[in-house]
Chain A
Amino acid sequence: NAGVTQTPKFQVLKTGQSMTLQCAQDMNHNSMYWYRQDPGMGLRLIYYSASEGTTDKGEVPNGYNVSRLNKREFSLRLESAAPSQTSVYFCASRGDRGYGYTFGSGTRLTVV
């Protein structure tokens, strides 16, 4: 039972480079989310997808794009990385009401 799988686990980018963070869940969840975590600021919602084929902006969407490829996969793309995007990125999914989010193990991204 893998749950939510994120790749890569670590990444170092140069300013201006692009990359895609991958996320897949095997729990047949409809909703998927991308959060970033910075020291002292908790987790902030970047984008979310309530169901396959839909995406919506969260609290901090600028500089990011997402794709809900199918029910299992939800990717996050940085088109032109900036040092301010250095963070830990978590993908999460949610099943039926009454249950919490299941988080992946995170991607630790450094932009130099």
Chain B
Amino acid sequence: GQQVMQIPQYQHVQEGEDFTTYCNSSTTLSNIQWYKQRPGGHPVFLIQLVKSGEVKKQKRLTFQFGEAKKNSSLHITATQTTDVGTYFCAGVAYNQGGKLIFGQGTELSVKP
């Protein structure tokens, strides 16, 4: 079945450093979504990418969707302590009834 792999599993950074998490799917995706989950909280939708090669920015966050629509990345510039949490990518494959399959997540910790 469809698989979505995400690396790294954990990332520890000093405040002000950059952070990147990568997502790879075993199948071509119709779209990919990114979520953030704070410790003890629930996933919160950040963004959806649909087009091949698409790049979107939200303040210090940059999201990319690969040309083949099988991989994606999230890059945070100059991390802050408020960025702490787990970042999940989640993909929707074609002909799968719109089911969202999540990657394992990358847990980000930021040292002040």
Contacts and interface: CB of A to CB of B under 8 A. Distances in A.
Interface stretch (B60-68, B75-83, B93-101): B93-101
Interface stretch (A12-20, A70-78, A79-87, A95-103): A95-103
A44 B45 contact: no
A111 to B, nearest CB: 21
Q: Interface residues of B toward A: which range?
A: 20 to 34
A52 B61 CA distance: 36
Interface residues of A, number: 26
Interface stretch (A21-29, A35-43, A61-69): A35-43
B88 interface: yes
A56 B97 contact: yes
B19 interface: no
Contacts of A109: none
Contacts of A44: 102
Contacts of B43: 43, 90, 92, 101, 103
Contacts of B33: 100-101
Given A103-B42, A103-B43, A45 B100 contact: yes
A42 B69 CA distance: 21
B1 interface: yes
Contacts of A100: 33, 35, 45-48
Given A58-B99, A94-B98, A103-B43, 8 more contacts: A31-B98, A35-B102, A40-B9, A42-B6, A43-B102, A99-B45, A100-B47, A103-B42
Q: Which 5 A-B pairs have the closest CB atoms?
A: A100-B45, A42-B102, A42-B104, A43-B102, A103-B42
29 contacts: A31-B98, A40-B9, A40-B104, A41-B104, A42-B6, A42-B103, A42-B104, A43-B43, A43-B88, A43-B102, A45-B99, A48-B99, A50-B97, A56-B97, A58-B99, A59-B101, A90-B43, A92-B43, A98-B50, A100-B33, A100-B35, A100-B45, A100-B46, A100-B48, A101-B43, A102-B45, A103-B42, A103-B44, A104-B42
Interface of B: 1, 6, 9, 33, 35, 41-48, 50, 88, 90, 97-105
